[in-house]
Amino acid sequence: PISSAPSDQPTPLDVLGQVFGYSDFRGPQQAIVEHVIAGGDALVLMPTGGGKSLCYQIPAIARQNAGHGVTIVISPLIALMHDQVGALTEAGVSAAFLNSTQTFEESSALEKQLLRNELTLLYAAPERINTPRMRSLLASLHERGLLSLFAIDEAHCVSQWGHDFRPEYRSLSLLHETFPDVPRMALTATADALTRQDMIERLKLEDARLFLSSFDRPNIRYTIVEKTDATRQLLRFIQTEHHGEAGIVYCQSRKRVEEIAGMLDDAGIKAMAYHAGLDAKLRQQRQDRFLREDGCVMVATIAFGMGIDKPDVRFVAHLDMPKNIEGYYQETGRAGRDGLPADAWMVYGLQDVVNQRRMIDTSEVASEEFKQVMRGKLDALLTLAEGTRCRRVSLLGYFGEASEPCGNCDNCLTPPAVWDATEAARKMLSCIYRVQQASGISFGAGHIMDILRGKPTEKVVQYGHDQLSTFGIGADLAEPQWRGVLRQLIASNLVRVNAEAFNTLQLMPDARQVLKGEVSVLLRQQAASSKAERTRRGS
Ligand code: ADP
Ligand code: ZN
């Protein structure tokens, strides 16, 4: 049912020009805007910087003009809501922001304004929606025909499979349950197939039209290198490629964030630490400085970044591996919003794989089903990291998008050498098997590598493992190579690190085929990553 606006109403394109000062819609914006103005539900997947805000702001204006009342925008990002309300007000659009710091009087004034139909957009955090006061306000507006549209931003937060689950998003089911006739749109910049499906169910968007933009960020160059000495690698990366430029460095722990910030600072790089353990005022100060001052490097946990709209972030570095591809994509997406060349650079190693697996396996709150899904998501990231094909092809493929090799990632620029590791893989797998068989218990990576390399350590001798047929069969490879083999065996799900049993190594069912010589194993040449780095530095 297209409820066409009276002909004296401005068209969406007029609104785009008059209110926002832009001459053309970008990508799918126009189709989205028209669909939503006409009262359709929509699910919008668009990469960061793609222009999601206009997709609900323009329908809000058009529908208000057509007499439908106010659009409610739900977002978890207080700062972003604040900025948008400011910008809209400046552009002459009546917008307001409901927040917990307002006094009773302020909220009452806002409510009166709403009931008089004087607002076009109302921004609110998800936890506000389910309060009795808000529910009755929404009901009153609805009765008067003044509820025009619900726009749910960062909609992946509703899914526990997403990378940023927020329980308060669950209460948004109230919207479709109580007001099924009010159009809804959900927007996000990261959702894989599973998260997408969950969003559709939770927000009841089965009949919504899906607007799927390309997730490609062509100006971002992806590089994933083996972690040898993370600190030194990072310093070299910044000094040789991004000296004096703004960037974000992600680390897993607060302690590490502090260490790395200190190290960069000592090296004369303007670096600041940011994590949830710092007090709110200090965090705000540092964030402001990062946004305002040129060339600052923010060293942070994932607590930093959501809603940060800084166009000239020239690099995002990961010193520790994220949990999954959605997180990696979201975090790297903060680089190069201005469209100019930017780097997404990550170092990762065996320890990252072990740590991430352990966090999943030892979680006491997660169900077995949940853990299984998380392991699958982690595996997909490992496959990306270990892979030899174009990073962009792998990344986009994960989000269901087909593409051609990009020419702008490490694997395209310096194709990694592969070596036939079938024999090495068999040696390692059979060593794990023999040890387990001989002793009745499993052992960790260090011990297995000692046996392979023929090192008669105290522990090796104590267990009689120097008597095994596999003792010393891998003396031809050095320890870093064995680590590479092991990491890739873990990434390919042939070996599992059992976090519940002292990180011991266990064979997975598929290992049989490799042991029997039925499949061959091609691995990334370890030296290739550091060589690629040297080439890139142009030495
Ligand atoms: P997202 O929320 O998808 O990350 P935003 O809505 O913040 O993206 O938009 C990113 C930037 O692009 C903003 O500065 C916005 O003003 C600009 N933008 C959006 N749409 C257009 C357009 N049609 N023409 C020009 N600039 C646009
Ligand atoms: Zn590529």
Q: Is 213 in the pocket of ligand 1 (CB under 6 A)?
A: no
d(CA 17, CA 23): 5
CA 365 to chain centre: 22
ipTM above 0.95, yes or no: yes
Q: Report the separation in Å between the CA atom of 342 and the middle of ligand 2, taken as the mean of its atom positions.
A: 14
In this structure, the residue with its CA closest to atom 2 of ligand 1 is 52
Q: Is 311 in the pocket of ligand 1 (CB under 6 A)?
A: no
Q: Report the separation in Å between the CA atom of 460 and the middle of ligand 2, taken as the mean of its atom positions.
A: 44
Three-state secondary structure along 354-395? Answer: HHHHHHHHCCCCCCHHHHHHHHHHHHHHHHHHHCCCCHHHHH
**Single-letter residue type at 132:** P
- Reported as half-sphere exposure (CB side, CA atoms, 13 A), residue 1 has a value of 4
Q: What is the pLDDT along the chain (539 residues), one digit of tens a residue?
A: 445 545 578 899 999 999 999 999 999 999 999 999 999 999 999 988 889 999 999 999 999 999 999 999 999 888 788 889 999 999 999 999 998 778 888 889 999 999 999 999 999 999 999 899 999 999 999 999 999 999 999 999 999 888 889 999 999 999 999 999 999 999 998 888 899 999 999 999 999 999 998 889 999 999 999 999 999 999 999 999 999 999 999 999 999 999 999 999 999 999 999 999 999 999 999 999 999 999 999 999 998 988 788 999 999 999 999 999 999 999 999 999 999 999 999 999 888 888 888 888 888 888 888 888 888 889 889 889 988 889 999 999 998 888 999 999 999 999 988 888 899 999 999 999 999 999 888 999 999 999 999 999 999 999 999 999 999 999 999 888 898 888 888 877 788 888 677 778 999 988 998 888 888 888 877 643 443 343 443 33
Q: Report the separation in Å between the CA atom of 193 and the middle of ligand 1, taken as the mean of its atom positions.
A: 25
24 CA closest ligand 1 atom index: 23
Q: Is 54 in the pocket of ligand 1 (CB under 6 A)?
A: yes
**Kindly report the CA angle at 164 between 161 and 168, in degrees rounded to 5?**
95
Determine contact, residues 110/35, Cβ cutoff 8 Å.
Answer: no
How far is CA 274 from each of CA 235, 262, 264, 284, 505, rounded to the nearest angstrom? 18, 12, 14, 10, 35
Q: Is 33 in the pocket of ligand 1 (CB under 6 A)?
A: no
Q: Which residues contact 2 (CB under 8 A, 6 or more apart)?
A: 38
Closest ligand relative to 51 C-alpha: 1
Q: Is 26 in the pocket of ligand 1 (CB under 6 A)?
A: yes
In this structure, the residue with its CA closest to atom 15 of ligand 1 is 51
Q: Report the separation in Å between the CA atom of 407 and the middle of ligand 2, taken as the mean of its atom positions.
A: 5
Probe residue for ligand 1, chosen from 14, 16, 19, 26 as the CB with the greatest number of ligand atoms within 8 Å: 26
Number of H helices, E strands in the chain: 23, 17
pTM: 0.81
Q: Is 22 in the pocket of ligand 1 (CB under 6 A)?
A: yes
Q: Is 480 in the pocket of ligand 1 (CB under 6 A)?
A: no
d(CA 120, CA 59): 10
Q: Is 53 in the pocket of ligand 1 (CB under 6 A)?
A: yes
For residue 310 the two structure tokens come to 């800084």
